[in-house]
Structure 1
Amino acid sequence: MKTKEAEVAINEHYGELKFLCEQEVERAFPEGALNIRPGLIVGPHDFTDRFTYWVNRVAKGGEVLAPGRRDKEIQFIDVRDLAEWILRLVEEQRTGTFNATGPDSTLTMEKFLEECNSTLENDADFVWVDEQFLLGHKVEGWSELPLWIPDSMYMNGFLGVDIQKALQAGLRFRPLTETIRAIREWEMTRETAERKAGMDPEKEQAVLKDWQQRAL
């Protein structure tokens, strides 16, 4: 088991490697360059299924396994908002380095799931399951339960990035309801049942059953 110090060191090293490419760009264009650091990019035609999983799962209804803390902060950006903003920056010949994710105010996992429920006019029942219980049942964050990163991984900054500089440079966001609705409409046109992220329905039901029996 890795210690907290080891996890933090790994995250810092990953961050250093991530920005080596930016250093190369700046070296090649010393007069100025535009570097964009996007967060999780979502929207129609996103075949990673990381955001799409939740939209589809809520649309299915019933008891939905909701992971960890209700107030855990999450971030993502609609690809259309990102693309439009980058094009404007290029047209304006802007330079600099920008964190590009959203929204422009704190969004919690609970608020996000409730927004999915409301937008899809559904009645899904969210069952919030403790992180340690999930880990004990070998539930994987991010892949099986997208947008959820266990607190024990010490990666709070991963979905809590400061985007003030990007906002000052004109980054704007469409309503979350538009993203949810567009993803659901696109999902209904997909011909394959294969999904790259999300929890297997049978495993979800098994975990929920164990959780409910534990609570009795």
Structure 2
Amino acid sequence: MHLLVLGGTGFVGRTVVDQARARDHHVTVLNRGHRPAPPGVTALSGDRTAPGGLAALDGRTFDAVIDTWSAAPSAVRDAARVLRGRAGHYTYVSSRSVYADGGPVPLTEDAPVVDASPDAGADTDYAAAKRGAEIAAGQSFDGPVLFARAGLILGPHEDIGRLPWWLLRLAAGGPTLAPGPHDLPLQYIDARDLATFLLEAAAAGRTGAYNVVSPPGHTTMGELLELGNEITGGRAELRWTPPETILAAGIAPWTELPIWLAPGFDHAFMHGGDVRRAVAAGLTVRPVRDTVADTWAWLQSLDGPPPQRPDRPRVGLDPAKEAALLG
């Protein structure tokens, strides 16, 4: 395929480019040029939020487009309009956050979604921005459109910092707060498996919404941290702590303890999605050991700290707060 990736230098976009190049697709990327483009691509420069920011696409046609945008839905609307009649398929990388609170768990692709507008600006919250962008792509593009509703995304090049924080914390060693229960099920997607699904679905012309994440219970909090400890050198002393104790200490799930959510609705929402539609369409996921080991190898290859998206807060637990809870 001749593939256009809108973005292409961050976590998911870069992984899509790498997987596409490995399959000998010709890849064009369009972005603001804040980070160097991956090797082997045609790099175009443009700020899609500015007037004329998509001008570099003039006269070009593509077999498929993959759009990873996470801000104002109007940017997706404008890109889809520009690409009408010039691309064979449009994939928007959305999020399972588009589902409305209170829906039945496990959430299928037919569950209620949040209210949103395709014309919303940059002040839109994340869930409404992702849903608004879905509407924008569906209304403005004149060909088949797929919405990849990803969940928690992990793997090499992660720029949110969730798995990198845990691996670096485990590598530091010593008594380590391990949020329980030990058998708490986790559901996530390795970015490489997400990219593979996107490319194969685009080639097959698939349309509609797909929950693109591993089956529920793909791993557990215990397996993830114990593998991480093994792979980073076995220096951490995991202190498994009940959720009630952690919450009573004022430690925030998800942000201070990345990936972890206490049992309850939030956990069921994030880690209990129905993925039968994606699996039937060919989604496959690699073992958790591969994701952990490859992420650690990538971290060790860096000259400095791992990348951090400027539009997302840093995650992780203050060492003093951890020590206070562990006594």
TM-score band w.r.t. shorter chain: 0.7 to 0.9
Correspondences of 1:83-102 after superposition (within 5 Å):
83-102=195-214
**TM-superposed deviation, 1:57:** 2.0
Correspondences of 1:168-207 after superposition (within 5 Å):
168-188=280-300, 189-192=302-305, 196-207=314-325
| 1:16 to 2:114 alignment | yes
Structure 2: give runs of 5+ residues left out of the alignment: 1-99, 104-111, 116-126, 309-313
**TM-superposed deviation, 1:160:** 1.1
Q: Which amino acid aligns with 1:60?
A: A
| Contact 1:37-1:98 at 8 Å conserved across structures | yes
Q: Which amino acid aligns with 2:114?
A: E
Larger Rg: 2
Correspondences of 1:88-127 after superposition (within 5 Å):
88-103=200-215, 105-127=217-239
Distance 1:106 1:16 in 2: 27
Instruction: Name the structure 2 match of 1:7.
Output: none
Q: 1:23 to 1:43 in 2, by over 3 A?
A: same
| Contact 1:11-1:155 at 8 Å conserved across structures | no
Deviations 1:156-185 (A, max 9, x none): 222111111111111111222221112112
| 1:53 to 2:165 alignment | yes
| Contact 1:116-1:180 at 8 Å conserved across structures | yes
- For this pair of structures, how many residues does the alignment match? 201
Structure 1: give runs of 5+ residues left out of the alignment: 1-9, 210-216
| Contact 1:77-1:103 at 8 Å conserved across structures | no
Relative contact order, higher structure (CA 8 A, sep 6+):
1
1:144 alignment partner, one of 253, 256, 264: 256
2:139 alignment partner, one of 2, 5, 27: 27
Instruction: Name the structure 2 match of 1:214.
Output: none
Distance 2:290 2:299 in 1: 14
Question: Per the alignment, in what secondary structure is the counterpart of residue 34 of structure 1?
Answer: strand
Q: Which amino acid aligns with 1:202?
A: A
Deviations 1:24-51 (A, max 9, x none): 4333458642111001111122121112
Instruction: Return the structure number with greater helix share.
Output: 1
**TM-superposed deviation, 1:194:** 8.9
Q: What is the root-mean-square deviation of aligned Cα atoms in Å?
A: 2.8
Deviations 1:120-151 (A, max 9, x none): 45253221212222222211111110111233
The TM-score, its normalising length taken from structure 1, stands at: 0.80
Distance 2:317 2:241 in 1: 14
| 1:72 to 2:184 alignment | yes
Question: Per the alignment, in what secondary structure is the counterpart of residue 151 of structure 1?
Answer: coil
Distance 1:190 1:176 in 2: 25
